[in-house]
Amino acid sequence: MDQRRPREKKQTKKGDLSTTRPPVLFFILRPQPKPENAVTIAVSTRVLFRTEREQKVFERHGVEEYLRYQIQHENEPFAPGPAFPFVKALEAVNSRLRQLYPQSEELFDIVLVTYNHAHVGIRLINTINHHNLFIERFCMTGGSSPIGYLAAWHTDLYLSADAQKVREALAEGIAVATVFMPEKQTEVSESQLRVAFDGDAVLFSDESERIFKAHGLDKFFEHERQNEDTLLDHVTCFLEALGKLQKKFYAKGQRLDCPIRTYLVTARSAASSGLRALKTLRAWGLEIDEALFLAGAPKGPMLEKIRPHIYFDDQMFHVEGAAEMGTIAAHVPYGVAQKRQAGKRDRRN
């Protein structure tokens, strides 16, 4: 801990401010882990904070007026966005890890990624300090695409509001998702990180889903029974990174008190097509704390009960259903279910 104390304050006459000094400040400096050792989460400003008002200024008046507006309001912190509780939960896990492994660099490391100009960095830093977030790594690209920097950061997960940039990052082999803000937001745990995943085209490849789309449910069930002992292909997934940190708690006898909990929430049926999914995860050495096979039932009510900090799914139908129930849902644009929309999206995330 770096404690910086000013020299003793001299006695002054009442009302004499000529020799007054600022209050004593204490700075706690925590070492940053090397990116290659950490679990790196890159988040855009538009998912970490609420920036709708600023976005309208940019769209209506252009970049110069946008920059002026940001500078004029740089002492006004942004309100929390959809990924804010998720990031706070990551920091809570880090606190537990530091208690158990003071010298370890196997921690969550958060990188703020934004198209913004460096001038806006002052407001972002003020906001981060206001909300007591521990984010030291910024990537402010001044209008250029940040995708090329993600690999350099050894990014394990990239969360953005820009669907086009998410697809570009996915093409680079990075686990990514487009995050949506629900109209209402369910209260989530402050001490346990909860992450829920769909199965096909999120944790696994879309091989089985292609069978279903092309030939229907009966052929899908037949295909799964015939390939019960054939592992599904692997999709780059955040679950691996979570599992690595979970095992550090298990090694200290804290399996039942682990601050990370994972969920599989899938439309698959258990008896008809669940075996292959579970055998695949076990063969990969990945553990899921809870597995919910819904056999086509709506996912929203289950997610409302789980209250995850984030839920990943490849189908917008399920993402929208989850958001309606107050869950922070993220769309993974992978696989046969994707319908490419040519909608125009703003690049400033």
- pLDDT per residue as tens digits for the range 222-255: 777 777 777 777 655 788 889 999 999 999 999 9
Do 39-179 and 193-331 fold alike per CATH?
Answer: yes
pLDDT computed for residue 28 by the predictor: 45
Q: Spell out the domain ranges in the chain.
A: 39-179, 193-331
pLDDT digits (tens, 9 = 90+) for 93-123: 999 999 999 999 999 999 999 988 888 999 9
Q: Which residues of 82-107 are buried (b: 16+ CB within 10 A; e: fewer)?
A: bbbbbbbbbbbbbebbeeeeeeeebb
Q: What is the CATH number of domain 193-331?
A: 3.40.50
At 277-332, the pLDDT tens digits run: 888 888 888 889 999 999 989 999 999 999 999 999 998 988 998 998 899 999 99
The catalytic residues are 198
Q: What is the pLDDT of residue 235?
A: 58
- Answer yes or no: are the C-beta atoms of 226 and 344 closer than 8 Å: no
pTM reported for the whole predicted model:
0.83
Single out the residue of 127, 132, 130, 106 nearest to residue 116, CA to CA. 127
- pLDDT (0 to 100) of residue 74: 94
Cα 164 from chain centroid? 17
Tell which CATH classification among 3.40.50, 1.10.1740, 4.10.830, 1.10.260 matches the domain 39-179: 3.40.50
Under 8 Å between Cβ of 275 and 249: no
Q: Residue 161 contacts by C-beta under 8 Å, 6 or more apart in sequence?
A: 44, 46, 47, 178, 179, 349
